[in-house]
Structure 1
Amino acid sequence: MNNKLNFICFNFFFFLFIFSMLNFIFMIYFIMNNLVLFLEWEIISFNSTVVVMSLLLDWMSLLFMMFVSLISSVVIFYSKSYMSSELNLIRFINLVLLFVFSMILLIISPNMISILLGWDGLGLVSYCLVIYYQNLKSYNAGMLTALSNRVGDVLILMVISWMLNYGSWNYIFYLDFMKNDYMMMVIGVMIVMAAMTKSAQIPFSSWLPAAMAAPTPVSALVHSSTLVTAGVYLLIRFNILLIDMFIFKILLLLSILTMFMSGISANYEFDLKKIIALSTLSQLGLMMSILSMGFSDLAFFHLLTHAMFKALLFMCAGIIIHMMNDIQDIRYMGGISLYIPLTSLCFNISNMALCGIPFLAGFYSKDLILEMVSFSNLNMMVFILYYISTGLTVFYSLRLLMYTMISDFNLLSIYNLYDEDYIMLKSMFMLLFMSILSGSFLSWMIFSYPYMIYLPLHLKLMVVYVTLMGGLLGYLISNMEIYSLNKFLFTYNMSSFLAAMWFMPFLSTYGLVYYYLNFGQKLYKNIDLGWSEVYSGYGMTKILKNYSILYNIYQMNNFKIYLFSFILWILIILFIMLLM
């Protein structure tokens, strides 16, 4: 049975890997010849009703499909070992494949109907994957994820109904020349709001850290290239329509606040997976903000480079959690680079790529984005928040490094750390290779001309300043936390507010359901267990019970009572007859 499972996993891995390589070859061909392929497949034609499936293949969709299929193939290969004790491994692999298929459908769709199928498929399968480990925490996280994403689904449905006015749901035909139409503006606003729910921007941020209840391979897939990037990808496709709209200015503000909020929250978090999830939220804010400034190519570039090192980061976290007897608290970790050096190597390189250390994947996109921000005509608040958020990325990354790699090992003295799971290591080394190289080769391929940005020296070095400042603060604060000096920090009293993502889970989740649950409890107490209990179920039962006891006593005296009652009835009848 085990050999059969290994064979199936390997087949899926091999198929997805070959598919990603084919996409890569086609993408090179399309980008060199400047091709766009628009395919329409007529499924059914009945009288004047035609049901058509449309596909859009251009360099962008092919490149994104290549990244999605490459990461998913590596994740399935990794899951073969990570989920080896899982009895229903085939079910898990099938759910992952459904997830990937939904994302691919979303990527190649120029049509709102097929986008809805992919979009809704992502939401539904993500619910199944988040509740995969069946416990109360997983159910709550899954419901929060599903309901947050339902908001986006409803908005897409509303876009479909608005687009009935145009005669076709192929949105790419209308983006440019229907730009100033009132209906198209309404559609644009709805698309932005739908993308905000999927990509977890404020005020829909609380579901993303909660979705960490899913198995780690799923987290690696979700946070790198599938669920959370769907909103960014949709906005890249709708960029021509939205570029001059006021909603993009609101999105710019919200996405920068999302970056800032998640960067601060990550510094107060001790759960390894939640720290990485909050870093994803920060990077999504970066993508959304640069997108709302009109640089859709830069947003796409960062989306792809981020996918590689974030998937690797989650895979390393999965191995570390496995080794630490399923403990996710970073305070128990420390000095693990001595015991699992290869995993630590991958973890540190992906962490450095996230920080934007020169010549790793993250550097090429982040540095370019920050220089374009310096080059753009923005107000001071946006500018400062951008750079502070970048500094916070280095801050929490170095804090994580200090806790996991440098401080003392704090788990049991009899530990079981080993670095011999070659299946997981092989899959991670594939992503390690891409985390180092993908930034440079994508920058050569995506941009037809290089971005040459001329800035004053102090603005050019601004990125270096905030990186060094964030690293220094991360080192100092983690040292203070490790040696119990956290209480002396000036933020100690604010930590509950900052760590709880500015009370967003309370506002968007508990705050919404509290009054309904409270009202339900009062109804249950005062009506179900109160007067209705006396006058309905319990009261009727009591009356019937008393009568049945009475009848029982009545019938216990048997024949004497029957005879007496018979004579009594005869006497009553005779008496009535005499009166008449």
Structure 2
Amino acid sequence: MLIFYFLFFFFFFFFFFSLMFLINDYCVFLEWNIYQINSFMVSYLLMFDWISMIFISVVLLISSLVILYSSDYMGVYFYSSNRFLFLVIMFVLSMILMILSPNLLSILLGWDGLGLVSYCLVIYYNSMSSYLAGLITCLINRLGDIGLLISLCWLMSYGSWHFMFYLDMYNSSIFYLIIISSFTKSAQIPFSSWLPAAMAAPTPVSSLVHSSTLVTAGVYLLIRFFNQFNFLNFFFLFISLLTMLMSSFCANYEFDLKKIIALSTLSQLGLMMSSLFLGLVNLAFFHLFTHAIFKSLLFLCAGIMIFYMNDNQDIRMMGSLTSFMPFTCSCFNISSMALCGFPFLSGFYSKDLIVESMNMNMTNFFVYLLFYVCLGLTSCYSIRLFYYSFIKGYVGCPISLFSEGFNFMKFSIFILTFFSVLLGCVFMWVMMIEFYFVMLPFYIKIMTLFFVIFGLFLGSELTLMTNYFLNINFYYFTNMWFMMSYFNYLYNIFYSFSYNYSFNLNWGEFYGSMGVSYYLSLFSFYLQNYMMSNMKMFFISFLIWFLLFL
């Protein structure tokens, strides 16, 4: 409780000072000279401006409420819970270290701290699945560290690691290295497979990791490194749009509650990245905040459901939860509507502005169409999740009886619900984003709302289908476009002890030899059918030729 009060106090402290710095346009540098020999100097630098301080305030708010939530969810005053608490505090400190640094060397310290502590948190339950998930998380994040280390060595030739002062001078290859490193942290294609795998961590950790800390570290680094000339890049824009599309499709095929929310995080990260590569850096930063608040709320509500449903995460085994836990379900629905971009909730202000600015940005029709399709798919999987967990009849254990009482878990989701309703418009006034002048025809202006409503309709229709459309591609979507399986070869090369599971399907198997053998057997079946019923076929062929001659 003491740590909760401490972090919550510093949330207000940093929020107040960020507003003051924003109004007066202040920026404070604190430099600590560690080592100097001749002209070479290693110094530690902290930069306090309104961007870093307002982001720290959001991180502190979410982490304080997660620690309060964990006191009920994980238990208190025993060895394992203390270990969990210290890991979360180390995680938050690594993130703050990364946010405050305009120096690439100190950013690498925070970046590595995030990677290592996230590995410890993912393997917290010590099961085989958590070890494998931790291995995937750790190895893919190492790839990003390689890119950062190369750019760090490259920056030596510029005479300083303080990248803030050299953004207009750098070679574009350095920017590409930084972008690819950020792609590993923010789980863009082809590094997406670690994000759903990291769901093996406890739910409060998932709430912290997948809303405001680990996955947003890459987006924040790109916002700091933003250079208009290098970032208006259609190749990277296409990759981030593809990530949005892939994760939205996969979420519509998934039945694991936490994985659906993780895939929605991936979709929103794709939206942030694509807005960055369209040059909308302020809007990407704005969406970073609003998404952090409502996504952490979504995870914490899902954690309460899992907590009361005997650690069950399958949404098919839930149903009618509104009868048992009305308050949690209300908070869950508010955050889900904010995710869809429902008008006047916090997600609406940032998402709507990003889409409308994209319309004014003179992009091609393909980008335009993909943006709107992903918007519709977001509301599609949200309404599907809503149907399975709240409307459908309860199909769990018939003798289970549970009801929610007021505890710290409810208190933390109440505060987050309050912020996820109000924070969007408050930030819009504070950051003065409403001065964006958006002028669009009426039918394009309401296109966003139309696609959200169309997605809701499509999701409700999808829940009624017993047999899924595109059923042959079910494995393709539930295995994240088979991205996971190709990393398995890397494990087998580098780690001889890794497990080779039979269900790791590959593109080559599904659309290669297995696919060819399937179509060959189908063709031979039709041929055999033709030979067996030769009289009937003879008359049909005679009729066809007769009609042709006529």
TM-score (norm 1): 0.84
Distance 1:449 1:386 in 2: 22
Q: Which residue of 2 aligns with 1:404?
A: 389
Which of 492, 500, 514 is residue 479 of structure 2 equivalent to?
500
| 1:133 counterpart letter in structure 2 | Y
Q: Is the 8 A contact 2:122 2:202 kept in 1?
A: yes
Aligned to 1:422: 407
**Percent identity over paired residues:** 52
Q: What does 1:398-477 correspond to in 2, within 5 Å?
A: 398-447=383-432, 450-477=435-462
Give the 3-state SS of the residue equivalent to 2:210 in structure 1: helix
Find the counterpart in structure 2 of residue 322 from structure 1: 307
Letter of the 2:399 counterpart: I
Q: 1:496 deviation in Å?
A: 1.3
Counterpart residue number, 1:77: 68
Match of 1:230 in 2: 217
Q: Structure 1 residues 246 and 38, CA, compared in 2 at 3 Å: closer, same or farther?
A: closer
Deviations 1:20-55 (A, max 9, x none): 101011011101101111221223445655331101
Deviation (angstroms), 1:191: 0.3
Tell me the amino acid that sits aligned with residue 427 of structure 1. S
| C-alpha separation in 1, matches of 2:115 and 2:498 | 28
Quickly say closer, same or farther: Cα 1:357–1:127, change in 2 above 3 A.
Answer: same
- The partner residue of 1:513 within 482, 491, 503 is 491
Q: Secondary structure at the match of 1:190?
A: helix
Q: The residue matched to 2:129 in structure 1 has which SS?
A: helix
CA shift at 1:416, angstroms? Answer: 3.2
2:469 maps to a residue whose letter is: F
Q: Give the equivalent residue in structure 1 for 2:46.
A: 55
Q: How does 1:360-371 map to 2 (within 5 A)?
A: 360-371=345-356
Count residues in correspondence: 499
Q: How far apart are the structure 1 equivalents of 2:349 and 2:289?
A: 11
Aligned equivalents of 1:327 and 1:117: distance in 2? 37
Deviation (angstroms), 1:72: 0.3
| Mapped contact 2:210–2:262 kept (Cα < 8 A) | yes
Give 1:417 deviation, angstroms: 2.0
Q: Aligned partners of 1:159, 1:515: CA distance in 2, in Å?
A: 27
Q: Please give the secondary structure, in 2, of the residue aligned with 1:42.
A: strand
Structure 1 equivalent of residue 112 of structure 2: 120
CA shift digits 1:88-127 (9 cap, x unpaired) = 1111111001000000011010000100000000000000
Query: Are 1:101 and 2:93 an aligned pair?
Result: yes
Distance 1:423 1:246 in 2: 43
Does the residue aligned with 1:244 lie in a helix, a strand or coil?
A: helix
Aligned to 1:154: 146
- What's the RMSD between the two structures over aligned residues? 1.8
Provide closer, same or farther for how the CA distance between residues 41 and 342 of structure 1 changes in structure 2, counting only shifts above 3 A.
same
Give the aligned residue type for 1:513: Y
Counterpart of 1:478, as a letter, is T
| CA displacement, residues 233-276 of structure 1 (integer Å, 9 cap, x when unaligned) | 00001112xx2227832210000000000000000000000000
In structure 1, what is the Cα distance between the partners aligned to 2:292 and 2:460?
27
Contact 1:189/1:247, CA 8 A, preserved across alignment:
no
Alignment partners' CA distance in 2, 1:171 and 1:154: 18
1:195 pairs with 2:182? yes
Q: CA deviation at 1:375?
A: 1.3
Corresponding residue SS for 1:50: strand
User: Structure 2 unaligned runs (5+)?
Assistant: 501-550
Secondary structure of 2:300's match?
helix
Greater shift, 246-255 or 221-230, is seen at 246-255
Q: Could you tell me how far 1:453 is from its partner in structure 2? A: 0.8
1:520-539 alignment, distance < 5 Å: none
Tell me which structure has the larger Cα radius of gyration.
Answer: 1
Give matches, 1:299-310, under 5 Å: 299-310=284-295
For residue 513 of structure 1, report the CA deviation from its aligned partner. 3.5
- Residue of structure 2 equivalent to 1:251: 236
SS at match of 1:463: helix
Check the 8 A contact 2:491/2:498 in 1, yes or no: no
The reply to whether residue 13 of structure 1 matches residue 4 of structure 2 is: yes
Cα separation, partners in 2 of 1:520 and 1:147, compared to 1, 3 Å: closer
Matched residue of 1:53: which SS?
strand
Match for 2:201 among 194, 214, 238?
A: 214
State the Cα distance separating 1:465 from its structure 2 match. 1.4
| 1:269-323, Cα deviation, whole Å (9 max, x unpaired) | 0000000000000000000000011111000000000000000000000000011
The correspondence for 1:279, drawn from 239, 246, 264, is 264
Contact 1:323–1:416, Cα closer than 8 Å, also in 2: no
User: Do 1:264 and 1:499's aligned partners in 2 also have CA atoms closer than 8 Å?
Assistant: no
**Does the C-alpha gap of structure 1 residues 248 and 425 become closer, same or farther in structure 2, counting only changes over 3 Å?**
same
Q: Which residue of 2 aligns with 1:167?
A: 159
Q: Structure 1 residue 514: deviation in Å?
A: 5.0
- SS of equivalent residue, structure 2 residue 362: coil
Equivalent residue number for residue 331 of structure 1: 316
CA offset at residue 499 of structure 1?
Answer: 2.1
Q: Supply the distance in 2 between the matched residues of 1:444 and 1:511 (Cα, whole angstroms).
A: 50
